[in-house]
Chain A
């Protein structure tokens, strides 16, 4: 058995995985060397997650071979993967909220709580991944939870750590400290597979990058030697489109959306209560709400859309297009000229098993689609067809079911459906979540065009780059409270980060290790 440093730790050979409608991985070859940080770069839907799940034993490949330190292996389940020394941290963490950190870890690790706690503290000190073993998970920030997940992987004999989009949940300051920890892990002999679509991060952190596009490897490069633009071209297959059109700003005199001291109690025990939210959006501007997920975005979006009505709010606590609206339901607010694109497309923005035409009815039913309550088939079909044409929705036609569309195309359809309502006030939550670069650019361009047309646009996004690219003003949401209004052009990502974590929390989390 050869085990020289030149033998890859993990080798994938001709790995193929097919799903009913798509080949997620097509003849993939990949070599991960020991003590390296290896990026898997690709757009959403390129097959990154499928590949990692194969390596972690969550799914089995249809064809191909996996070699571990030169030996052919079959990784049939996650227990087998862990036995080999593979650990994985998912985008959505798998921790029990009601248990403490050490209790969570003792579920998968042998040993007494005292021993484990000691280990947690030692590992935390060594890698600067400090976390209090006795703390309840639900009281931890997202960054701290991520540390728990990483430490849990470290407690076994870890040789390969797989991280799925680890920075998507972190404020900028914490990203740096995560990178420090990852470099230290690498220097201690751990290989890291780093899944991301964020080019700058990969250039900064990774030693090698394997680029995936539509299930195939399109290149294996040293990311430090490539520009972000070159990487993006490898990733999407053509030049990166860009948005245009930031003319002189002309905003309406009166705000088209105004929230005055809105406080709403959380509905579920792990939800976030909104406290004293003040926010206004004028016509002709794009206002963004930044923040780490789980800080009240869900609740705020439901309060603005009318999906969540609080009886405790006075009607004019929410003023929409110069009308008191806090007492109005979602359909009534739409009648005022308000449109909303929710972050969940399937099941909220669209009914998955229904055709696109029926999905048009969901919000556009007052656009001449009904006659005495009966459906006007032709009017529905032509609205749907127009939306498909105008917004370049790739699908089999108005009869395709919503669930058959890719994430990006469905988002284009929903955005199109809402824009065809010609709103005066548009609210989009996570406009380009899981959307490929081409579609994302198209959507951002639409939003900018709307701004030029004098529409008031509010977006909630976790992608800071996106917010910096298109917004005029920003608010930051943290723990259900909103920062003061901030002018985008006068901001840096670090400023936003400050508001994202709040200074007190920043001190608690880093324990003074990390200066901002």
Chain B
């Protein structure tokens, strides 16, 4: 018996919806096997991952706290991915956004101006865009591969962050911890509820999502990017600039990641410190693909990954899992998603070997 992949005439819409579900199912299956090998409680682990996060109000707000930046960055990355601009450096753009925004409370420690927060938003966005612009410039000018450039720029951004935290921006009263001063309340987003960390910054990803949906589905600009991704020669033929596509994709991602970074330091963290990104820049890549690069799909994918992260935190304690378990699960998700996505465009056919025709005489 042989298996063959036949290209479908039309891509399968049913499979498009089924692939994320299959990816989740397969990931859970492999995780179960891993847990059995590690001799960890399987049911308790899955309970920690998927049920526990919803068991009290606080952890539900924590889900949304993680949901925000994941959604914001993934929406922007998906636009680029559809235009075949492979920006995998949202992490670095997020760091630079956070640094740029932090400069305001760091240098105006005593200010109580109402303009603090707006200034930080603008600087966060500009910081992220500037970092992404380096990759866009190198890509359009020298055709430097944006995958490598954005990835390496993330490492550079991290070193800049470390330098600032260990040097000029270190809190003088911070017992030598690598972090800045705690920011004043005027530099932070107001909380939504008492006793929960979730704050008003959640509005930004939601508004951004609506904007992206309109842009990609209803606007000519989105159409141009999609054409550039699907059929580059058709885009050239129509006269759509591929350089413009690179610039706009990267700047949009820089904008979103920069604001996401800013929302972290002006939200749950409240200062600039080493773990400012929580890995959102990388997780957002998974979110974008798990959501089939579709603005609506990404909402569900971001929520799912947020649950997974909170659940992972719970599982660390309750099921005594190592921290890398969450990363393994995320990685499995992406691999299985990409593997099952094949079936959107191909169908599997089982070929039974035909018995060899024996030569026979004919008249």
Contact = CB atoms under 8 A, between A and B. Distances in A.
B176 interface: no
A157 B221 CA distance: 60
A350 B234 CA distance: 6
Given A331-B239, A352-B230, 17 more contacts: A20-B9, A70-B362, A71-B360, A73-B359, A74-B354, A306-B239, A348-B234, A348-B236, A348-B237, A349-B234, A349-B237, A362-B234, A373-B220, A374-B219, A374-B220, A375-B220, A375-B223
Interface string A359-385: 001110100001001110000000000
B356 A375 contact: no
Contact of B11 (A330, A331, A353): A353
A404 B9 contact: yes
Nearest to B229: A351
A330 B234 contact: no
A289 B9 CA distance: 35
A215 to B, nearest CB: 17
B45 to A, nearest CB: 40
Nearest to B358: A72
Contacts of A330: 236-239
B227 A351 contact: yes
Contacts of A350: 231, 234
B220 A365 contact: yes
A344 interface: yes
10 contacts: A21-B9, A72-B362, A329-B241, A348-B236, A348-B237, A350-B234, A351-B227, A352-B230, A358-B223, A361-B223
B221 A352 contact: no
A354 B238 contact: no
A347 interface: yes
Interface string B207-238: 00000001000111101000100110110111
A184 B354 CA distance: 39
B354 to A, nearest CB: 7
Contacts of A332: 239
Nearest to B214: A374
A350 to B, nearest CB: 7
A67 interface: yes
Contacts of A73: 357, 359
A362 B238 contact: yes
Given A20-B9, A70-B362, A401-B10, A334 B239 contact: yes
Give the one of A333, A362, A365 with max B CB within 10 A: A362
A348 B358 CA distance: 48
Contacts of A361: 220, 223
Interface string A393-427: 00000000101100000000000000000000000
B327 interface: no
A361 B239 CA distance: 12
A307 B238 CA distance: 9
